[in-house]
Amino acid sequence: MSYSYQRIVVKIGSNVLTLFNGLPDLERIAHLVDQIAALKKRGLEVILISSGAVASGRSMITIPEKKDNVAARQLLASIGQIKLINTYLSYFEKHGILCSQVLVTKEDFRDRLHYLNIKNCLEILLKHRVVPVINENDVVSVTELMFTDNDELAGLVASMLEADALIILSNVDGIYTGDPNLPGSVVITDVRKGNEEIQSGISISKSSSGRGGMVTKLGMANKVASLGIPVHIANGKKDHILSLILDKKIEHTYFHPEKQVSGKKKWIAHAWESATGSITINQGAKEVLLSGQARSLLPVGITEVCSDFKKGDIIRIMDTSFKLIGVGIAEYGADKARERTGIKGHKALVHYNYFYLVD
């Protein structure tokens, strides 16, 4: 039996789209587009996260700078992205499908308003049967504005669009028990919450053109699965990989989804690192939040409002030793929270539905 997904996010890594010599693998790109077109015929909505701008640029110009140099990356991506998107455009056109270019930075996901702007943009594209081709805007994404890599971006988009699944295509068959090049290593096919064994197998190595490596794929996949979205990691170099995954006919790594959470909670899970406000809470409040029960954070449990925030901001919730417990959306601002600190009978500062436990 096949997976009955309606909306999927597919992320394709640089190395899937490039040949050993660094030149774009046009046959592979054409074949991936054919597969996406076939899925659209089956009635699926597909959102594509495509790396490959830097790799494409590298095939067009020779520069003396080191590959991690910021200016070099900007130059290569600026040249390469236009080539990449033109390649997609011409291949999708052959199927009578429109594709679009969406370039984003981490900043576009930080506050709720920007986040909803992007979400609305992607929804309108999907409504008009367009395949969004999303990449990080490497030309303006520098240092702290950068995603760890496109796997992080793919996780964000899958959560934002409440996708039925996220498929990560790399140049390996999935996550292996050890270095994929060593003879004893095998693909881990099923990952469930609390699977510790998987972490130890992952080495820090990555492919020649990749950015984050398998470590970020694992972290992102765990997070996305914890928000209720299944994640597949498979080999994009294999022919017909997308239908083989969907029809359960190929071995790869599958992350089982946990219970679905609300759209707002999905946003908090991805955006909390940019939270500004923070509070500390006492032991009783900490136990309540960690109990797993649907209990909100009342101001009686607050011990200190450490930094300012407004109603609607994401705040960090720490214990009295400043250890982070979780994050949540503030129902009112820091001034009111200070007035109510340690006092009974006031409305919750963070509602249970808008609280996210940080591991």
Ligand X SMILES: N[C@@H](CCC(=O)OP(=O)(O)O)C(=O)O
Question: How many amino acids of this chain bind ligand X (CB under 6 A)?
Answer: 17
The residue among 273, 336, 357 whose CA lies nearest residue 348 is 336
Closest contact distance (angstroms) between CB of 176 and ligand ADP is 4
Site for ligand X in 22-51 (CB under 6 A): 51
Site for ligand X in 123-142 (CB under 6 A): 135-136, 138
Label residue 116 exposed, middle or buried (CB < 10 Å: 0-12, 13-18, 19+).
middle
Beta strands in 84-204 (DSSP E): 99-104, 131-136, 165-170, 190-191
Number of other CB atoms surrounding residue 349 within 10 Å = 28
Of 73 and 286, CB closest to ligand X: 73
Annotated ligand binding at 11? The verdict is: yes
Overall size of the chain counted in residues:
359
Backbone torsion region of residue 234, taken as left when φ is above 0, otherwise alpha when ψ lies between -120 and 50, otherwise beta:
beta
The span from the CA of 332 to the CA of 355, in Å, is 14
Binding partner at 171 among ligand X, ligand ADP, none, C-beta below 5 to 8 Å by kind: ligand ADP
Binding partner at 277 among ligand X, ligand ADP, none, C-beta below 5 to 8 Å by kind: none
The span from the CA of 57 to the CA of 74, in Å, is 10
The span from the CA of 176 to the CA of 172, in Å, is 9
| Pair of tokens at residue 266 | 């999905």
Binding partner at 167 among ligand X, ligand ADP, none, C-beta below 5 to 8 Å by kind: none
> Per-residue b/e over 171-181, b at no fewer than 16 CB within 10 Å?
bbbbbbbeebe
Beta bridge partners of 18: 24
Residue 13 found at the interface with ligand X (CB under 6 A): yes
Binding string, residues 182-221; x marks residues near ligand X by CB under 6 A: ---------------------------xxxx---------
The span from the CA of 45 to the CA of 108, in Å, is 23
Closest contact distance (angstroms) between CB of 248 and ligand ADP is 21
Query: H or E element: which one contains 307?
Result: strand 302-307
Binding partner at 54 among ligand ADP, ligand X, none, C-beta below 5 to 8 Å by kind: ligand X
Of 212 and 263, CB closest to ligand ADP: 212
Annotated ligand binding at 51? The verdict is: yes
Positions in the binding site for ligand ADP (CB under 6 A): 13-15, 170-172, 175-176, 180, 201-203, 205-207, 209-214
The residue among 207, 25, 53 whose CA lies nearest residue 61 is 53
Closest contact distance (angstroms) between CB of 330 and ligand X is 33
Binding partner at 202 among ligand ADP, ligand X, none, C-beta below 5 to 8 Å by kind: ligand ADP
Closest contact distance (angstroms) between CB of 155 and ligand ADP is 12
Binding partner at 172 among ligand ADP, ligand X, none, C-beta below 5 to 8 Å by kind: ligand ADP
Give binding residues for substrate as ranges.
51, 138, 150
Give binding residues as ranges.
11, 51, 138, 150
Binding residues vs ligand X (CB under 6 A)? 13-14, 51-55, 77, 135-136, 138, 149-150, 209-212
Give binding residues for ATP as ranges.
11
